Amino acid sequence: MFSHVTVGADDLDLAAAFYDAVLLPLGLKQRAVEPDGGPEARCWVRPEAPYPRFYVYKPFDRTPARAGNGAMLAFVAPTRAAVDTAHAAGLAQGGRDEGAPGLRPQYAPDYYGAYLRDPSGNKVHIVHRAELTESFGILP
């Protein structure tokens, strides 16, 4: 459905450390970003698929990055343990807790998720649910 999703950050090294920690347990890895005349960026993908991509960029307009009010990134985790690991890793890399890992039966009986804010304030959700992992072909 998506080609890519982008968030802004003023400190790309801090953002990269956070997202490396959070996304590695989910099976995503950082890939090189070819300079294209735009601002500096970092990118993560699943190794077996070039798309969709997740980017963190310095803002193009050179003003400070701001988190979107009401905006949230949601990443699929292959297992509940991966949700736990990603959440803990994000906290260890400067993220803020927005909801500890646990079942969220109001969404679905097997919906297991956690919420964080990255160092720039962007809201991140990590979710495991059999229906999602199957539809995305994500194996535990």
pLDDT at residue number 18: 98
Task: Reply yes or no on whether the pLDDT at 133 is more than 80.
Answer: no
Closest to 127 measured CA to CA, from 110, 117, 6: 110
In this predicted model, what pLDDT tens digit does every residue of 25-59 receive, in sequence order?
Answer: 999 999 999 888 889 999 999 999 889 999 999 99
pLDDT digits (tens, 9 = 90+) for 78-131: 999 999 999 999 999 999 999 999 999 999 999 999 999 999 999 999 999 987
d(CA 23, CA 133): 15
Q: What is the pLDDT at residue 7?
A: 95
Whether 95 contacts 117, CB under 8 Å: yes
**Which two three-digit tokens encode residue 41?**
């960026």
